Amino acid sequence: MAHLLSEDSQLVKDWASDQDAFKGVSWGKAMMWIFLLSDTFIFSSFLVGYMTVRMSVTEPWPNASEVFALTIAGHHIPLILIAIMTFILITSSGTMAMAVNMGYARKRKQAARLMFVTALLGASFVGMQAFEWTKLIEEGVRPWGNPFGAAQFGSTFFMVTGFHGLHVSAGVIYLLIVARKIQLGHYEKEGNYQIVEIAGLYWHFVDLVWVFIFAFFYLW
C-alpha cells in the first residue's frame, strides 16, 4: 500500500498528471466505464431491496430450484433453463471478446460478423427469458402474488430479471447498430475500432450482472 501511494508510483503519477487521469483511455471508453459504475449502483440497489424484503417476509420463500425446473423428455431437471441461459450469455461474452480482438486487428468483416453472433445470442437469451416469464405467468405467478409462497418472490423476479432483460435488449440494439456501421466501413477513415471495445464493455457488464442474479436469485 505504501508503495502504491509513494510519489513515483504509476497510480499517483497518473492522477497528478495534466490533461488526462486515465492514460491512453479514450473519452468514450472512460465514459462507458463511469456509466457502468453508476449502473452497478442501480443493480446493487435492486439486489439490496430484494435481499431486504426476502429476509424480512414471514411467508416462506419459494424454492427457485423447483419453480424454475423444466420437465424435458420425462426428466424433471431443476433450473435447467436458467443454466442454458447462463451458458448462452457466457458464450456471447466470448464471441464479443473475440470481436474486440478482430476490431483491433483491423479485421472489419470478422469483427462485424462476431458482433452479429453476439447480438443473436443476446436475442435468444431475451427470447428464453420471455419463455420463462410466460411459463411463470401461466403458473399463476404475478407481481402481487404467487401460489408458491411470499408475494415478493414474483415482484422481485419480474423487477430484477425485467431490468436485466431491458439491459440485454438495449445491448442487442446497440451491438447491431455498431456492427452495421463497422460493416459499412464507418470507422475505416479514423482506423480506430475502439468503439467495439466500448460496446464490448457494456455487453460484458450485462453478463456480469447476470452472474450475480444467477447466484443470488436462482441459486440462493
Partner 1 sequence: MSTSNALGQESQEHNTQEHPIGLYLKIWVLLFVLSTLSYMVDYMQLQGYLRWTLIIIFMLLKAGLIVAVFMHMMWERLALIYAILLPPLCLLVLIGLMAIEADYTILMRYDFFGR
Partner 2 sequence: MNEPQSFWTKYVWSQDHKVIAVQYSITAIVAGIVALVLSVLMRMQLGFPDSVPFMDSEAYYQAMTLHGMIMVIYLLTALFLGGFGNYMIPLMVGARDMVFPYLNMLSYWFYLLSVIVLMASFFVPGGPTGAGWTLYPPQAILTGTPGTDWGIITMLISLAIFIVAATMGGLNYVTTVLQARCRGMTLMRMPLTVWGIFVATIMALLAFPALFVSAVMMLFDKLLGTSFFMPAVVSMGQALDYDGGSPVLFQHLFWFFGHPEVYIVALPAFGIVSDLISVHARKNIFGFRMMVWAIVFIGVLSFVVWAHHMYVSGMNPYFGFFFAITTLVIAVPTAIKVYNWVLTLWRGDIHLTVPMLYAIAFISTFVIGGLTGLFLGNVIVDIPLSDTYFVVAHFHMVMGVSPILVIFGAIYHWYPKITGRMLNDTIGKTHFWITFIGTYAIYFPMHYLGILGMPRRYYAYENYEFIPQSAHDLNSFISAMAIVVAVAQVLYIYNLFWSYWKGKEAGPNPWGATSLEWQTPQTPPVHGNWGEKLPEVHRWAYDYSVPGYDEDFVPQTQPQPEDRPAGEMA
- What cell numbers appear for 162 in the block? 425485467
Distance CA 93, CA 87 (A): 10
Would you state the torsion angle of the CA atoms of residues 29, 94, 121, 173, taken in this order, to the nearest 10 degrees? 10
71 binds, among partner 1, partner 2, none (CB under 5 to 8 A by kind): none
Q: Which letter does DSSP use for residue 6 in this model?
A: S
Segment interacting with partner 2, rule: CB under 8 A, options 4-12, 23-31, 93-101, 190-198: 23-31
Q: Is 24 in the site for partner 1 (CB under 8 A)?
A: yes
42 binds, among partner 1, partner 2, none (CB under 5 to 8 A by kind): partner 2
Residue with cell 408458491: 148
Distance CA 88, CA 129 (A): 12
Q: What would the x/- binding string for partner 1 be over residues 75 to 114, using CB under 8 A?
A: ---xx---x--xx--xx-xx-xxx-xx--xx---------
Q: Is 65 in the site for partner 1 (CB under 8 A)?
A: yes
- Residue 38 near residue 203, CB atoms below 8 Å: no
Q: What would the x/- binding string for partner 2 be over residues 146 to 185, using CB under 8 A?
A: ----xxx-xx---x--------------------------
Q: Give the nearer residue to partner 1 in terms of CB position, either 76 or 137.
A: 76
**CA contacts within 13 A on the Cβ side of 9:** 9
> Which secondary-structure segment (H or E) carries 142?
none
Minimum distance of partner 2 from residue 19's CB (angstroms): 5
Distance CA 1, CA 3 (A): 5
- Nearest-Å Rg of the Cα atoms of the chain is 21
Which parts of this chain interact with partner 1 (CB under 8 A)?
Answer: 4, 9-11, 14-15, 19-28, 30, 33, 36-37, 40-41, 44, 48, 51-58, 65, 78-79, 83, 86-87, 90-91, 93-94, 96-98, 100-101, 104-105, 190, 192, 194-195, 197, 200-201, 204-205, 207-208, 211-212, 214-215, 218-220
